[in-house]
Structure 1
Amino acid sequence: MNTQFRRPGRRAGAAAALVTLALVAAACGEGDDSSSATADATVTVTAAATGDADSGSSTGGNDTSTQKFFNDASVWNTRADTEATDKSSAKMLELAMTRIGWEEKKTGLTKVVKKVDDPLWINTTEWTDPVVAGGVATEVTCRQTSCGDGEGSITLDVPEDVDPDPEYDGWYTILDTTNNIAYDLWRARREDDGSISYHYMKIWNLDGSGWQTAGEVGARGSGLPLFAGLIRPAELEAGEIDHALAIAVPAPSSKWYVSPASSTDGNGKNASLPIGARIRLKANVTFKNPVDSNGKKIALTADQKRYADAIVLALRTYGAIVVERAEVPTLFAQRDATDLEGDELQGLSLDDFEVVKLGKKYRYPTPDKVATNAAATESAAADSTDSSDTATASATATATDTAGSN
């Protein structure tokens, strides 16, 4: 198993701390799900330290790999294998593999277009999220005047031996399993005194929908949770992953995104695959033995093969939601928590996938009027009649036609 990104162990006794958090921004941002907290809700969080300097008890935190994320109706927990395929699926996937960049030459900046044909990779130790719960009462502090849902300092239970990694944007998720909420941190780091500081915090209701309305932001550029869609150790061991996975592609659209994303940091052509899109493995695609860059077969252990089978089945049944951009097509495993090497699915590429029919497209940056009315529009769509469905489809078609021109 991979080694955790750890700092030298510390033992510190601490009393339980009672912290009251005003979750105004978090409560009003989670989609149109009625089970999400309402605006201006106040949540009382009990941060109980589990370590004790005299007892020598563990301060390594609790196992989070079986924690359920979001409600049953969440897009993260619903199947995609019977959904219609988008008519522009092949074109969007092709453009999503076409990176556009700039190189400085003697004549000035030159536009460079590169076709990426790399197979599927799984991030296991870098550019992925550690998910922690329990440990010792730890001060968690905003380093700026404004930090999203965070403000000043709060005290949360955090294991002493699992740190954010500033080299990879300091992604870090702390679960409060007592109140069923999660804290996504961006640019987090462990300070010398053992506290954790950060630049941005997003608080998620684990009983909620797992997405936000158009224009809302989060610890990811897509506005989606850092921890949603992770491949986790318990489900690999069980051989069953019953949720959509998170995926990054090389060149998602820079102009459009779709729900469940609420923003985008895409860098591709306008007609490319938008962040928030859901893709799934084609029904006729089976597991292919991975090969390296020289075409040589990569030998897998029996466990790796079993893990790969579980991931392939999840990609075919639940699909994957585009949450990021990356140099190559990339899935995300919970950081330092699985026995995956990362190359188990190198026999698959984006050509083996298809795009589930897109919903309404949102322009980036999101106009204020659209952002203000997004929740009401999406809520109304859920209860719409046939006539309003026709109107919505017409509006979506217009947006799609516009997105198709570069």
Structure 2
Amino acid sequence: MPTPTHRRRLALASAGLMLGALALAGCGQDEPAAAPAATAPPSEATTTPATEGDTGTTGVAVAAREDVFSVLSPWNQPVTDAPVHIGSDYMLRAAQLRSGVDRDGRVVRTLITDQFYINTEAWTVPVVSGGVPTALVCRQAQCGDGSGELVVAVPADVDPDPRYDGWMTVFDTERNVAYDLWRARREEDGSISYQYRRDWDLDGPGFSQPYLVSARSSGLPLFAGLIRPGELERCEINHALAIAVPGPAAGNFVQPASATNGNGLPKSLPMGARIRLKAAYTPVDPVDRRTGKALPFTAEQSRLAGCLLTALRTYGAIVVDRAAVPTLFFQRLPQDTPKLLQGYELQQLDLTDFEALDFSASDRYEYPSQDDDLGTSGLDADLDVNSLDDTPVEAAP
């Protein structure tokens, strides 16, 4: 595992570098746009501290390294003293608006008051390292950073799940590269085929230059901001978390995002924006909203929830995707692994418990570029979000 000094040197060497990413939704994704060739940053994979130096070819799966990206990466920067955006309240309220289309083809928007959920199995990412030599094979002529066949160590008992866009991240301990896969599946011969691959330097900045796509809709790494089991058990989450929201801004993003599939109000919280839990927030035990009865909540669940709240106050969360409700992501583990989280540990939170951190209007990148059709939701940018209730509202003509 790289030492802090080693990571700092790598960070300085790569401080000007920005990585690549694509478009995908928190509950389903469109076909990735073709990624600009030869512009993806070098990628690296990692070893766990207990297996440092393992080549990954022994056939034994190891825990993938947790300390990813340089110390200068936005993912690794605390934000306890960062200023709040003047439009924070509006953006967070707007981000609660989920857009859809009715049977007549008209855009409707619904205010989502459902509280936070943590994905632990569906729509989250397995991160693997070590195992048996396995061929990663591109199923089409162009697959982002992937072409032809690449052999890397992968556990034989961990497969991508095609029901959830076949997300998977493989840490290559020999090349020190992480491979994010999209629409991946395990084939009968044991190989893993995929439709898109993005390679990431794990000692790099953890994001791409604008307009580069990845396996996630924001252009960010699939594994960036994941809640990892080891760090959660130790209560040592030293990075920003990844979050998906119902209505991220349509037609624009801010860095570290490099793309977007947002379909919300144009002035909503954009992909790449960072939010921080308010210091005054007081934890509340989760309750079944249908019955009003308390949900099972053990002392250990309370402890783990406290660890997550500390991370959200210290490092915040970066908007990486869209989802039906505000969603965080826990690393998907093999089914026989004891569950650390049930998913509702932070159910008491909603987006109004957060504040959006400052960025300027010029930080919003138009997406696609101004020469292309933005394909926005058609919703009114000046909508008074505070006037909405929980019922669907037709879009302005």
- TM-score category by the smaller chain? 0.7 to 0.9
- 1:239 is displaced (CA, Å) by 1.3
1:335-346 to 2 correspondences below 5 Å: 335-336=332-333, 339-346=340-347
Q: Deviations over 1:172-194 (max 9, x none)?
A: 00001333210000000000110
1:168-179 to 2 correspondences below 5 Å: 168-179=164-175
Match of 2:109, SS state, is strand
1:99 matched residue in structure 2: 98
- Supply the distance in 1 between the matched residues of 2:328 and 2:196 (Cα, whole angstroms): 23
* Greater relative contact order (CA < 8 Å, ≥ 6 in sequence): 2
- Structure 1 residues 345 and 155 mapped into 2: Cα distance closer, same or farther (>3 Å)? same
Q: Deviations over 1:43-63 (max 9, x none)?
A: 999975323xxxxxxx4x111
- 1:35 is displaced (CA, Å) by 11
- 1:291 is displaced (CA, Å) by 1.2
- 1:40 is displaced (CA, Å) by 9.8
Match status 1:126 vs 2:110: no
Whether contact under 8 Å (2:326, 2:350) holds in the other structure is yes
1:3-402 to 2 correspondences below 5 Å: 32-33=16-17, 49-51=57-59, 59=60, 61-64=61-64, 66-104=65-103, 108-294=104-290, 295-336=292-333, 339-359=340-360, 360-367=363-370
- 1:205 is displaced (CA, Å) by 0.2
Of stretches 134-143 and 285-294 in structure 1, the one that deviates more from structure 2 is: 285-294
Whether contact under 8 Å (1:31, 1:212) holds in the other structure is no
Question: How many percent of aligned residue pairs carry the same amino acid?
Answer: 50
Unaligned residue ranges in structure 2 (runs of 5+): 1-13, 21-37, 46-53, 373-379, 384-397
TM-score by length of 1: 0.77
- Supply the distance in 2 between the matched residues of 1:142 and 1:278 (Cα, whole angstroms): 34
**Radius of gyration: which is bigger?**
1
- Supply the distance in 1 between the matched residues of 2:43 and 2:315 (Cα, whole angstroms): 32
- Supply the distance in 2 between the matched residues of 1:133 and 1:258 (Cα, whole angstroms): 31
Unaligned residue ranges in structure 1 (runs of 5+): 1-29, 52-58, 370-402
- Supply the distance in 1 between the matched residues of 2:234 and 2:225 (Cα, whole angstroms): 17
Whether contact under 8 Å (1:281, 1:354) holds in the other structure is yes
Whether contact under 8 Å (2:44, 2:199) holds in the other structure is no
Of stretches 148-157 and 288-297 in structure 1, the one that deviates more from structure 2 is: 288-297
- Structure 1 residues 348 and 251 mapped into 2: Cα distance closer, same or farther (>3 Å)? same
- Structure 1 residues 363 and 405 mapped into 2: Cα distance closer, same or farther (>3 Å)? farther
1:10 matched residue in structure 2: none
- Structure 1 residues 254 and 43 mapped into 2: Cα distance closer, same or farther (>3 Å)? closer
Match of 1:122, SS state, is strand
- 1:111 is displaced (CA, Å) by 2.9
Whether contact under 8 Å (1:242, 1:318) holds in the other structure is yes
Q: Deviations over 1:273-307 (max 9, x none)?
A: 10100001001002221112223222211211111
Count of residues paired in the alignment? 331
Match of 1:175, SS state, is strand
Q: Deviations over 1:127-155 (max 9, x none)?
A: 00000000000011000100000001010
Whether contact under 8 Å (1:47, 1:155) holds in the other structure is no
Q: Deviations over 1:192-235 (max 9, x none)?
A: 11000000000000000000011100011110000000011111
- Structure 1 residues 368 and 158 mapped into 2: Cα distance closer, same or farther (>3 Å)? farther
Whether contact under 8 Å (1:292, 1:346) holds in the other structure is no
Match of 2:92, SS state, is helix
- Supply the distance in 2 between the matched residues of 1:135 and 1:222 (Cα, whole angstroms): 30
Return the letter of the residue paired with 2:57: A
- Structure 1 residues 199 and 245 mapped into 2: Cα distance closer, same or farther (>3 Å)? same
- 1:236 is displaced (CA, Å) by 1.2
- 1:161 is displaced (CA, Å) by 0.2
Whether contact under 8 Å (1:31, 1:211) holds in the other structure is no
Whether contact under 8 Å (1:182, 1:205) holds in the other structure is yes
- Structure 1 residues 115 and 34 mapped into 2: Cα distance closer, same or farther (>3 Å)? closer
